[in-house]
Amino acid sequence: MKLLVANDLYGLSSAAGVAVRMAEGLAARGHEVSFLATTQEPGGGRRWQQGGVDVHLVETPAYNARWRSWRSLNNPAGVAAMARVVDEVRPDLVHVHNLHIHLSYASLAAARAAGAQTILHVHDIMPVCHQKLFCHLDERLVPGDPVRYRNGPLKCAVCVRGRFNPLRNGTIKKALARDVDRLVAVSDEMGSALAQNGIGPCRTIFNGMASTSDPSDSVVSSLSERLHLAGRRVVMFGGRIDRLKGGLELLEALAVVVRKVPDAVLLLVGDALPGFFEEMVALAERNGVGQHRLVRTGWLSGEELRAAYALSDVVVSPSLCFESFGLVNLEAMAAGLPVVASMWGGPSDVVKDGETGFLVNPLQTAVLADRLLRVLQDEALAERMGAAGRARVAHLFSLEKHLDGVEALHAEMMPSS
């Protein structure tokens, strides 16, 4: 079987990283795999071999994100890229990951026109939402309650204002029904959210994590010294740092935490949206937390990122917006750390509430503070949860498990291959 994997961008983080690891993993299992991605860097298009995969990086012009709700439906440059690579590779199956920026939904028809079967692997809520879905928020709900993820034209128009395209969601729904043979969701909650908005059915294939080595003592020691973390209780908040990720609610909870755990600090690993870190500092000062408790690292990767986990006592991800999966939670569990995560979306499939960590409604900041205090003040509980998290990752979320699920789906679609 010839397989073409496609994603808007090529990289090792987020959905792009999942797509790249999937492609290289399938190539290692003996499949003939090509990869299509786009670049907006002038003259940046090229072709090379990576991890047994024939990579096609095609240049497409950049455009103002204001027009994404239109251009994501049909970006002529993205469609042409798909048509060209499909014509050259002649794949039996095209497995598309993210396409809502540059390739566009119309590229699915270009793949289908060449005779390939198609899969859309949905990594986020964009097929039914112009941006990050948060119209499900309800401070009364608790983990285990059914959540209504249904949106609608009026909600969307009020939310995104001038960027609203009234034809967007309906056009996407028709394109998926016409041009996609199978839909894959990265979590059961993602599948539920799509179904509530008229898209499906979906097969769930959890993201998989390749095994990694522990960071060296020297890297851990160097990072600890640079960030002045020795003797501190470290609450790690990783990923994109902004309002929709629950940064302000976390600071409200931290004000409670530091009264009982005075040596607690918040380790911010990732990039903050412009002005948001300053907003966090102002709130911390008002709440008596103090700016000195906010330790900012910026973007970390590789061994330094693993060292950040090694220096942490708990990882918190209190997102208000819909989380499709929550890779930071998976990384934390693989590192043997308890997790306090938002109940909205995919984290409820990743984190086993009360066993590998806690799920919370982040709008309930008192509950968020209580769950953080439980693991900070009970070392035995934290160790049990960390060990259970490692075991859960090995059992459900390994890269091998992910590849098994993908291969099984491909075999169903191409039984004679």
Strand order in the sheet with 233-238: 294-298, 264-269, 233-238, 314-317, 339-342, 357-360
Amino acid identity, position 158 = V
> What pLDDT is recorded for position 417?
55
* pLDDT tens digit sequence for 91-124: 999 999 999 999 999 999 999 999 999 999 999 9
Report pTM. Answer: 0.93
Sign of CA dihedral 133, 254, 273, 302: negative
* pLDDT tens digit sequence for 184-225: 999 999 999 999 999 999 999 999 998 888 999 999 999 999
Q: Which one has a higher pLDDT value, 411 or 240?
A: 411
Pinpoint the residues of the chain covered by CATH 3.40.50.2000. Answer: 2-130+165-209+398-413, 217-396
* pLDDT tens digit sequence for 149-179: 988 777 787 787 778 888 999 999 999 999 9
Residue at token pair 């008002």 = 286
d(CA 417, CA 412): 10
* pLDDT tens digit sequence for 266-306: 999 998 888 999 999 999 999 999 999 999 998 898 999 99
Residue 296: phi and psi, rounded to 5, are -105, 125
Residues listed for the chain: 417
Tell me whether residue 152 is exposed, middle or buried, using C-beta atoms within 10 angstroms of its C-beta: 0 to 12, 13 to 18, 19 or more: exposed
54 neighbors 33 (Cβ within 8 angstroms): yes
Tell me whether residue 253 is exposed, middle or buried, using C-beta atoms within 10 angstroms of its C-beta: 0 to 12, 13 to 18, 19 or more: buried
- Please give the class, per CATH, of domain 217-396: alpha beta
Pick the CATH number of 2-130+165-209+398-413 from 3.40.50.2000, 3.40.50.720, 2.60.120.650, 1.10.10.60: 3.40.50.2000
84 neighbors 78 (Cβ within 8 angstroms): no
d(CA 38, CA 102): 7
